[in-house]
Amino acid sequence: MKLIVCGGGTGGHIYPAIAIAEYFKNQDSSTEILYIGGKYGIENKVLKNYDYRFETIDIKGFQRKLSIENIKRVFKTTSSMLKMRKILSKEKPDLVIGTGGYVCGPVVYMAALMKIKTAILEQNVFMGMTNKILSKKVDYIFYGFDEALKRYPFDNAIVSGNPVRTLEFNYDKKTAREELNFSSDEKIILSIGGSGGSQSLNDAIKLFVNYAEKNNIRLIHSCGEAYYDELKEEFIDINYDKFELYPYIKNIGKYMQSADIIICSAGASTLSEVSYFGKPIIAVPKAYTAENHQEYNAKMIEDCGAGYCIKEDILNADILANRVQNILFNQDVFEKMSDNSSKLYKGDACKIIYDALI
């Protein structure tokens, strides 16, 4: 079998594609996999850690205004479509799966035109523009959350949940804490701002450290590589030994399992990983995301009773401390949110996707 997966721009699009590819390969070792990403996306860096053939196309999303740059991007999209026709004609894949990002447009659309079996994964509650276009062409649509199916009840849609890198997340809490040298009884908060970091979350954490120290809470914050050097300088005078600052956490599963509460951006992939471990969530949706999809995701988390949504324009250390206090020091709330978070995880999304397509 020949499989093409595509997804790019953010880790939330890339890692689900990798998880799907790994599952297909594990089911049939003869499966040939080609990953197609954007020419400038972080997938170029991430895929170096995996043994997949990798191709890129030159594609960027359109600006929401008339501009010379948009005209250039029309030509790039056309060029990418032609390149994809050549790649697909050469590869003759049995299946093409897109997991999000502008790169999926030319790849999946051309595959559908060429009558190749196609599928897309809509990870968010609110469907992005690329998937709205592709949804009318593909054979299968997979949703990360039940709420998405309520909004877009296509006949060919299935709620699979979002793929999680289960091989990298195979930790129980006791083992995870032991490997990280954390004690079994300490309270731990993990804060992650997404693959690109979050300025607003970084700003709130600067003062939230004081709350963590006052309450003897271990605080682990992943700030994003672009912000790390600046934040490291700002935190140089902080002597709290239970505060850990990282630009990026590679083995994030171990840290997620160790945590009691997870503060994070509201990307669908991150939320699915958190719910895989059944952790209460404080979701901080990034305001600049396409179609404001993160806010829809975060509101869903709060509506389901799995945590809180704090919008960026009101986020500060005091509000963060208030929400943490309500969860971490109220056992009933903590247990209910943990249970509701677990319910958001649909099970093995990769298996559901595989069984539907094969």
Domain 2-163, architecture per CATH: 3-Layer(aba) Sandwich (3.40)
Please give the structure tokens belonging to residue 11: 């880790």
Annotated binding site for UDP-N-acetyl-alpha-D-glucosamine: 10-12, 124, 165, 195, 249, 294
Query: What's the confidence (pLDDT) of residue 289?
Result: 63
The mean of the pLDDT values for the chain is 91
Q: What is the pLDDT of residues 165-178, one digit of tens each?
A: 777 788 899 999 99
Res. 25 pLDDT band, cuts 50 70 90 = very high
Q: What is the pLDDT of residues 325-351, one digit of tens each?
A: 999 999 999 999 999 999 999 888 999
Question: What is 173-344's CATH topology?
Answer: Rossmann fold (3.40.50)
H helix runs in the chain, sequence order: 11-27, 43-46, 68-91, 104-113, 129-134, 146-151, 173-179, 199-214, 225-234, 252-258, 268-276, 293-303, 317-328, 331-344, 349-357
Q: Which residues are within 8 A (CB) of 136 and not within 5 positions of it... i.e. 6 or more apart? A: none
Measure CA of the first residue to CA of the last residue in the chain; give whole Å.
Answer: 10
Q: Could you tell me the residue ranges of all domains in the chain? A: 2-163, 173-344
Query: What's the confidence (pLDDT) of residue 31?
Result: 97
Residue 67 pLDDT > 70, yes or no?
no
DSSP 62: P
Amino acid identity at 34: L
Across residues 115-120, what is the average pLDDT?
98
Query: What's the confidence (pLDDT) of residue 75?
Result: 45
Annotated binding site: 10-12, 124, 165, 195, 249, 294
Query: What's the confidence (pLDDT) of residue 82?
Result: 86
Residue 63 pLDDT > 50, yes or no?
no
Across residues 230-239, what is the average pLDDT?
88
In this chain, the answer to whether the domains covering 2-163 and 173-344 adopt an identical fold is: yes
- pTM score: 0.85
Res. 76 pLDDT band, cuts 50 70 90 = low
